Amino acid sequence: MAMQYILCGGQLYRRSYDGIHLRCLKKEEVEKVMEEIHQGICSPHMNGIMLAKKILRIGYYWNMLEIDCVDFVKSFHDYQTHANLNHMPPKELYSMTFLWPFSVWGIDMIERIAPKALNGHKFILVAIDYFTKWVEAASYSVLKAKHVARFIENNIICLYGVPQEIISNNGSHFEGEVRTIMKLYNIEHHKPSPYQP
């Protein structure tokens, strides 16, 4: 292990794998460095592993670096309340099976784009095939049910054949002419349950 360390000007350094010399910190300096990087002027309030990597990039090292950083971050109240924790009770997973490519499509509108595109379009309609993950998209200045129906005919049916089913949300632009197209081509139209936060 001694081969990884060098003594230069009374200060201990550790050679990193990429040749950079990392200054080894004393126990008294460790807390101050972690606090300054985690909560300093440009504080990103990162998790423990990212904090340890940032300290290494800056050029500091000590033996228990990663463990100390994780413990340091866990001690903050903000971490406890805003951590990426799963609050949902466990449920049994089920897989969705699709028999062949382009048999099931999901279609949705991306929210209004601000600022508008150069051509004045502010809506994007996106359809994705669940089997191959192939994406078809088109932009519109105004998005109504007739535009969605034309999109389904031109971008899905004409290019990939008649799908078995299309899944969309409960938006008003998936009503009217879209239902007519679904009945005309005998496509099953599924809608998910409304989202409730």
Residue 138: the pLDDT is 92
Instruction: Tell me the one-letter amino acid at 151.
Output: F
Provide CB contacts within 8 A for 143, sequence distance 6+: 109, 123, 125, 173
User: For residues 166 and 149, what is the distance between their CA atoms, to the nearest angstrom?
Assistant: 12
Q: Give, rounded to a whole angstrom, the gap between the first and last alpha carbons of the chain.
A: 54
Residue 197: the pLDDT is 47
- Integer angstrom CA distances of residue 175 from 20, 127, 170: 62, 16, 8
Residue 1: the pLDDT is 65
Give 128's strand partners: 106, 135
Residue 9: the pLDDT is 86
Residue 107: the pLDDT is 92
- In this prediction the pTM is 0.51
Residue 96: the pLDDT is 66
One digit per residue, the tens of pLDDT, for the chain of length 197 reads 677 888 888 888 888 877 788 888 888 888 888 888 877 765 666 788 888 888 888 888 888 888 988 888 888 766 666 666 666 677 776 666 677 888 999 999 887 887 888 888 888 999 999 888 999 999 898 888 899 999 999 999 999 999 999 988 878 888 889 899 999 999 998 887 665 54
Choose among 110, 131, 180, 111: nearest CA to 152: 180
